[in-house]
Amino acid sequence: MGKARLKNKFSARSLIFLFVFFLFFPILINAQDVNISVSATVSGTSTPPIIPEPPIIPPGGSYVPSETEIIFKGRAFPSALVTILKNDAVIASFKAGQTGLFERSIKGIPGGIYNFSIFAEDTDGKKSELMRFMVTVLESRITTVSNIFISSTISLKPQTAVQGEKINIFGQVFPGSMVRIFFSPSGLIKETVASDQGRWSFEAGTDSLKEGEYKVKNKSFFGEGEQSGYSQELSFKIIKKAEVCRGADLNTDDKVDLVDFSILLYFWEQKQPANRCADINSDGTVDIIDFSIMMYQWTG
């Protein structure tokens, strides 16, 4: 008899604990997608009763429950167009402030568990990576999702560079953020700081990079431990330095003679020849003009 009462008492306490837990901690995060910290609080009665009392309905009146509301707060880029989706459907699109901060209240969402996602488009029309998280919304209460940090946008030029050329990597993020740039497969990591307007850029040297394809992405940091998820990952290619042509000296032996003439004849009338130096005047075709230049530079 005593054991049964103890078991019932334990079960009741467990149910009360679960109720309070889900009431005050209604958010679940998909950390694999975003790698960030998102918190939520629920505002309603300051100390909600465990057994709610039925509402008092005045004579001739009707009971109107509090409206369900969810508030999103966080950091984007100055004047960014922020879009919020619920279960992959757009529910709000609005501009962040000139400081990059944003706050948006959405009302009328029924209580339940929802997959929310959010992204931002910068003033150059470039979009951030989509950030996803799951939230439990409680009926007739206010749920606040805060500490949202939208990832940086990223672009690069040129997409193909000759060894030794510079590659400019740039984008927009929350002003003053430290942007950490990751290169793969080289393992190179570089850092830069965004301006007061949220713009950042980094000029990457390619002298130490071998011929091949590389990928680059970034992650942003602000204040005491705040960090975004990774940005979009972009690719660029490094090619070898082009061969330096030496006029009509096609075999680079410091003479213009029959050997060079033979090379010219081999590529005669070809367009964009494999040996680009055979097109001495670089007009796209090996022809009589190139022969004339060779004769002018002839050393024998």
pLDDT, tens digit, 9 for 90 and up, residues 8-49: 544 555 544 444 444 445 554 443 344 434 445 555 543 333
pTM of the model: 0.66
Which 8-state DSSP code applies to residue 13? H
Domain hosting 33: range is: 18-44+67-148
Residue 54 lies in a domain: no
What is the rounded CA–CA span in Å between residue 175 and residue 197? 6
- One domain for residues 231 and 256: no
Residue 209 lies in a domain: yes
Residue 53 lies in a domain: no
- One domain for residues 39 and 112: yes
Residue 8 lies in a domain: no
- One domain for residues 112 and 207: no
| CB distance 39 to 27 below 8 Å | yes
Residue 294 lies in a domain: yes
- One domain for residues 31 and 128: yes
Counting the structural domains of the chain, the total is 3
What is the rounded CA–CA span in Å between residue 189 and residue 184? 9
**End of a domain among 207, 222, 239?**
239
Indicate the pLDDT class of residue 62, thresholds 50, 70 and 90.
low
DSSP secondary structure letters along 134-201: EEEEPTTSEEEEEEEEPPPP-EEE-SEEETT-EEEEEEE-STT-EEEEEEETT--EEEEE--TTSEEE
- One domain for residues 230 and 272: no
Which tokens is 235 given? 């690719």
Residue 300: predicted pLDDT = 83
- One domain for residues 111 and 31: yes
What's the Rg (C-alpha) of the chain?
A: 32
- One domain for residues 99 and 200: no
pLDDT tens by residue, 275-296: 889 999 988 899 999 999 999 9
The CATH code of the domain that includes 263 is 1.10.1330.10
Q: What's the average model confidence in pLDDT over 116-139?
A: 94
Residue 13 lies in a domain: no
Residue 138: predicted pLDDT = 85
**End of a domain among 239, 263, 285?**
239
- One domain for residues 281 and 182: no
The CATH code of the domain that includes 88 is 2.60.40.10
Q: In the predicted model, what is the mean pLDDT of the chain? A: 83
Residue 89: pLDDT over 50? yes
